Structure 1
C-alpha cells in the first residue's frame, strides 16, 4: 500500500511540474526596424569614424504641433510609443504618416519635420553617433 501512495504522489508532483513548465512565459523578440536606407528610400552611404556614442531619447510632442525644419548628420531610428505623427520633407514634399507601434528609419542630411494631429505623440529615438556629433541641425 505505501508503494501505491508513493507512486501516486510522484505522479502528482511530476504532473504539476509539467503544467508549470507549459504555462511559463517565453521570451519573444521581434525586429521593429532593420534598414540600409531612410524611409524615403535614400540609402545610408557611410558611417562616421571615431569613438561611438549612443543616445536614446524619449521625445514628447504636444498635439497640433509642427516641429522646426531640421536634419540629422547621422542615421537614427524612431519608434512611435503613442499618438500619430506625419513626417514630411521640405524640398521633395514626400511624407509618411506613423501611428503607435510604427518604427521609422530617419533621413540623413535631408531637411524634414514632424507634425502632430489632435493627440500628443511620444517618440523613442535612437542615435548612433560619435562623440561631439550633433544629433540634429
Structure 2
C-alpha cells in the first residue's frame, strides 16, 4: 500500500446549492425508478447562443464555470441569470431553455438518472 502524503487543514468546502425544487420553484417529486446512473457533462456555449426548448426527465444540477447563462421558463416566461461561480437546480418535466448574450459560458451539469434514460428531451416549441 502506497503512503499518501500532503498537507491537511487547507481543504475548504462550500455548499453551492441545496434545494428540493428547481430554479423556477417547481418541486422535485421523485427520482427515476431503477439502478441509479449519474452523468456529469461539461457544456461550452458560445456567445449569442439560444439553446432549444427542452425538458429533463430526471433531477440535475449545474455549476457555471465561466460566463453567464440566462434561464427561461416556457410556461411562465420567468428568467434567471446565473453567473460564473453560481450553481442551480434544473427543472424536471417542464419546458425551459438557456441562452448566452455577450460572453460564452462553460457549465458542468450532473444528472441523477438511470441507465438508458435520455438526459434531455427536445420540445416542439
Same fold (TM over 0.5): yes
Q: What is the root-mean-square deviation in Å for CA atoms of aligned residues? A: 1.3
Q: Judging by fraction of residues, say which structure has more helix.
A: 1
Match of residue 79 from structure 2? 95
CA contact (8 A) 2:24 2:73 kept: no
CA distance in 2, matches of 1:24, 1:43: 39
The answer to whether the Cα contact below 8 Å between 2:47 and 2:105 also exists between their aligned partners in 1 is yes
Aligned match for 2:26, one of 32, 42, 64: 42
Tell me how many residue pairs correspond in the alignment.
115
Structure 1: tracts of 5 or more residues without a match: 1-22
Measure, in 1, the Cα distance between the counterparts of 2:8 and 2:16. 25
2:42 aligned to which of 41, 44, 58:
58
TM-score norm. by structure 2 comes to 0.88
Question: Which protein has greater RCO, CA pairs closer than 8 Å, 6+ apart?
Answer: 2
The yes-or-no answer on 1:128 pairing with 2:112 is yes
Q: Which has the larger radius of gyration?
A: 1
Deviations 1:60-99 (CA, angstroms, capped at 9, x unpaired): 0000000000000000000000001100011210110011
Runs in 1 of length 4+ with deviation above 2 angstroms? none
Q: Deviations over 1:74-129 (max 9, x none)?
A: 00000000001100011210110011001011000111100101111000000010
Q: What TM-score results when the alignment is normalised by the length of structure 1?
A: 0.81
Higher strand share: 2
